[in-house]
Structures are given as C-alpha cells and as structure tokens.
C-alpha cells in the first residue's frame, strides 16, 4: 500500500499520452508527486479528464492548506480540511518530495502524525527527493523516539535506505545530517476563486483509481462510473466533495 505505485516520468509528452489515454490513475500521480503545475495548461475533450483538470488548482490549494496546518501543528485545521475533501489529499507532496507525514515526523508533531496515520496509513512508505521516508525524519526528531516508534507501528520499513544509503535509525545519532529547513516548506498553489470545488467534482473519482493502483480492492468500472454519475447529478449526499 503506497501512495505511489510506479515511478513515473512526468515530462509533458507523457502527460499528454495519459490525458489521451484518459489515465486518471497516472494523472493524479502527477498531482500527488508535487507536479500539479504541469497539469495547469493541459486540456481534454473527455468529460472525466476535463473534470479532473478543472479540479487541479483546487486540489493544489487544499494540499497547500494541509501542509500549512501540519507545519503549524494545527490539528483542528487539518481535520477540517480532510473532512471537507478526502484523506487522499494526505498523499500530496511538495516540490522536495515531502508529504505531510515527513513534516509532522521531523517537526515532532505527534498528534498530527497520529491523525495522518489513522486517516491514510499508506503515506508511511513515501520517499522524498533524497529517498527519505517519514521514518528517516522521525529518527532525527527531538522527541525521545516517540514518533519513530509510532510510525514503525504503522508498518514503516526500518531497513529502507535513502539515497545516501542510510537506514532511518542512522539519523538518531546524526540528526544534524537531516535538512531541517525542508520541514517548514509550504507547497505553492495557484489562487482559486473562492473555496468551492467545481460543482461536478467528486473525490471518489480519485479514491477509486487510487484503490485500483494500490491493488487494495477490486473496484469495478461501475463504481467509477457511479462516482462520475453522482458528480453529474451533484446530489446533496456528496456535498462534502463540493465544499472545502
């Protein structure tokens, strides 16, 4: 279970192929891996892909807010953002490849980390641009190992090496070798008019694709069709996907 199934090359020619192939699974990885800006100028005649592309600036804005709440240790703010959108937003990385768990771990924000792990445990596996997992950052946190133990309980791999060929525990005695300045970076996002997502947006579109890509459960095309169908009818039942 990871936020990132394969390692993809996010060059424009590939993005256009995925748009042509209507591959929402790969297109959302562009977003989660911190390359949302590469989708901003793209268009599609396909209603599903078009709907996704229209939502991109809003998703980027939510990702920015979620990272800001994490950095500022604002648990209530983080909860509200997740409830108004979807736990899948916790996958979103900044341009350095850090997700919110990397930051909560490195900053010693235990309650924030608990919330993230409870809502979307797959984020434990994510690696930043230096190959570090949240556990690498937790090892360097000045918290007597609380976060290291917590993240390990959620299945983090203690033998995972970063690009310097170091396992997480190495940084327990060498915390200064971890770049602390990366922990307070807030990802950029375009300005969006208001906080309401486009009215045809439905988070289950991404959630269903995500479940397929992680092989968690068999999601039938009917499930995805129903997500798009409900987005078209914009019933009150799914109003959570419209508000931020």
Q: How far apart are CA 96 and CA 179, in angstroms?
A: 11
User: Residue 51's domain is classified under what CATH number?
Assistant: 1.25.40.20
Q: Is 159 a domain residue?
A: yes
Quick one: pLDDT at residue 242? 39
Q: Is 134 a domain residue?
A: yes
Full residue range of the structural domain in which residue 41 is found: 12-187
Quick one: pLDDT at residue 1? 41
Q: Residue 34: CA atoms inside 13 Å, Cβ hemisphere, count?
A: 17
| Total structural domains within the chain | 1
Q: Is 152 a domain residue?
A: yes
With a cut of 70, list the residues of the chain below it in pLDDT: 1-7, 194-195, 213-244
Quick one: pLDDT at residue 127? 96
Q: Is 141 a domain residue?
A: yes
Q: Do 231 and 205 meet the contact criterion of CB atoms below 8 Å apart? A: yes
Per-residue pLDDT reduced to its tens digit, 6-15:
568 999 999 9
Q: Is 107 a domain residue?
A: yes
Q: Do 212 and 29 meet the contact criterion of CB atoms below 8 Å apart? A: no
Q: Is 154 a domain residue?
A: yes
Quick one: pLDDT at residue 217? 52
Q: How far is CA 180 from CA 17, 92, 124, 141, in A?
A: 37, 19, 19, 10
Q: Is 215 a domain residue?
A: no
Q: Is 148 a domain residue?
A: yes
Quick one: pLDDT at residue 78? 98
């Amino acid at each position: 279970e990871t936020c990132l199934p394969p390692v993809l090359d996010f060059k424009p020619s590939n993005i256009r192929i995925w748009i042509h192939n209507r591959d929402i699974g790969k297109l959302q990885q562009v977003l989660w891996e911190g390359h949302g800006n590469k989708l901003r100028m793209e268009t599609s005649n396909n209603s599903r892909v078009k709907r996704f592309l229209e939502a991109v600036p809003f998703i980027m804005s939510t990702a920015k807010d979620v990272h800001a709440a994490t950095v500022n240790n604002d648990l209530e703010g983080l909860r509200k953002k997740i409830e108004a959108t979807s736990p899948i937003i916790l996958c979103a990385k900044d341009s350095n490849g850090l997700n919110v768990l990397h930051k909560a771990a490195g900053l010693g924000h235990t309650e924030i980390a608990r919330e993230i792990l409870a809502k979307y445990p797959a984020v434990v596996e994510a690696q930043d641009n230096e190959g570090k997992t949240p556990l690498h950052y937790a090892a360097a946190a000045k918290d007597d190992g609380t976060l290291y133990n917590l993240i390990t309980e959620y299945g983090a791999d203690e033998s995972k090496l970063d690009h310097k060929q170091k396992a997480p525990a190495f940084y327990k005695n060498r915390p200064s070798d971890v770049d602390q300045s990366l922990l307070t970076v807030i990802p950029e996002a375009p300005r969006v008019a208001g906080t309401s997502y486009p009215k045809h947006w439905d988070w289950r579109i991404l959630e269903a694709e995500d479940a397929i890509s992680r092989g968690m459960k068999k999601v039938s095309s009917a499930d995805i069709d129903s997500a798009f169908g409900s987005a078209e009818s914009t019933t009150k039942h799914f109003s959570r996907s419209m508000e931020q």
